[in-house]
Structure 1
Amino acid sequence: MHKYITYFILLLFFGCKTPEARRPITSKSGSFINESIARNKALNAKETAIIEKIMQESNQNYIASESGFWYYYNTKTESDTLFTAQFGDIVNYNYNVKALNGNVIYSKDDTKTQNYAMDKEELFTGLREGLKLMKSGETVTFLFPSQKAYGYYGDENKIGTNVPLICEVTVNSITKSQN
């Protein structure tokens, strides 16, 4: 009987030790991430240089947004009674999409009139941020680097990987949210 008690105590002692973490067979350095950062910085610098050249060659007064794109007003509304869209507001707008060389990718007929619930629906980053700057009745031309447009994946249709875009957007109306 004493032998069974000793065996049971040893089993409890060795069976209750904390599990040891398994070590990885191989360890990876941060080289992939560092290479990706370097590629993205180079791509951004290249796109920015092209966009800056376009801005220099045009007669427009471009504004640099805090969000990382550039724009100018085709039609600007100076009225103090109009407002910009806030979270949940419904923005009715039309837009077209062009490549930086001016070739139309999607015309206003292709994209049709859109209704967008501000920050409640999916929309590419640049256009979402651009709509926040606009009042009803305004038309703005935006220059979006690829990371503010459709980025690495494109739109899986006509817009490919890492394509910077020009979008001309007209806000028809902004309906305040009832919340």
Structure 2
Amino acid sequence: MVAQISCKQNSQAHPPVGGVLSQNDLSVSRERMKNLNTLERNQIQQWIGGQTEKFYPTKLNYWVNIEDYDKREKRQDNSLISYQYDLYDFDQIKIYEQPIERKEVKLGHFDELKAVEDALRYIRDGEVVTLLVPSSLAYGTYGDEKKIDNDVPLIIKLKAL
């Protein structure tokens, strides 16, 4: 079993959306996120080293299991796409029983995980890709308020329908 990748150290309470932070609080928060991102990237790279499947870094700071993925032709804003994905932790335990599915959505006009929206621009119809995503591109500081805690990196298996 692989140790779960997450960081609970240096946790700081964040104000609610719309709350006010001082300059010092903003600096502390920025530094915390920078350190967390560095830690998660190192942990993900270490996890990749123990896999037989190859993963490649993307320009947006996540990994994908297809070489030169972000050099493919890119889908433009307003392109319609249907897709689904499953979420896993780094112990490869599926988080939700049913996949998250969206039908006929326009790229650039929906709220989605940053890594998923970026990957959808390069995925081919019918293709399944695996994304390794740091928490900052997943559910970040707040989690999904259901099963995914704050600061949890994810494995996402994404399929264009």
User: When the two structures are superposed, what TM-score results if normalisation uses the length of structure 2?
Assistant: 0.76
- Equivalent residues, number: 138
1:89 aligns with 2:82: no
Aligned residue among 33, 42, 50 for 2:43? 50
| 3-state SS, counterpart of residue 32 of structure 2 | helix
Q: Do 2:142 and 2:150's aligned partners in 1 also have CA atoms closer than 8 Å?
A: yes
Matched, 1:141 2:134: no
CA distance in 2, matches of 1:115, 1:30: 42
The match for 1:62 is: 55
Q: C-alpha displacement at 1:166, in angstroms? A: 0.4
In the aligned structure 1, how far is the partner of 2:77 from the partner of 2:104? 14
In structure 1, what is the Cα distance between the partners aligned to 2:53 and 2:132? 12
Deviation of residue 148 (structure 1)? 0.5
Larger radius of gyration: 1
- Counterpart amino acid of 1:96? D
1:88 CA displacement: 0.7
CA RMSD of aligned residues (A): 2.3
Q: How does 1:85-164 map to 2 (within 5 A)?
A: 85-107=75-97, 109-112=98-101, 114-164=103-153
Query: Identical aligned pairs, as a percentage?
Result: 26
**What secondary structure is seen at the aligned counterpart in 1 of 2:129?**
strand
The structure-2 alpha-carbon separation of the partners of 1:86 and 1:42, relative to structure 1 and needing over 3 Å to count, comes to: same
- Whether the aligned pair in 1 keeps the contact of 2:85 and 2:99 (CA below 8 Å) is no
Gaps of 5+ in 1: 1-27, 173-179
Counterpart of 2:46 in structure 1: which amino acid?
Answer: K
User: Do 2:136 and 2:151's aligned partners in 1 also have CA atoms closer than 8 Å?
Assistant: yes
1:60-82 deviation digits (Å, cap 9, x = unpaired): 22111101101113xx9xxx9xx
Structure 2: unaligned runs, 5 residues or longer = 1-20
Q: How far apart, CA to CA, are the structure 2 residues paired with 1:31 and 1:93?
A: 42
For the 8 Å contact 1:95–1:170, the answer to whether it is kept is: yes
TM-score (norm 1): 0.69
Distance 1:167 1:144 in 2: 7
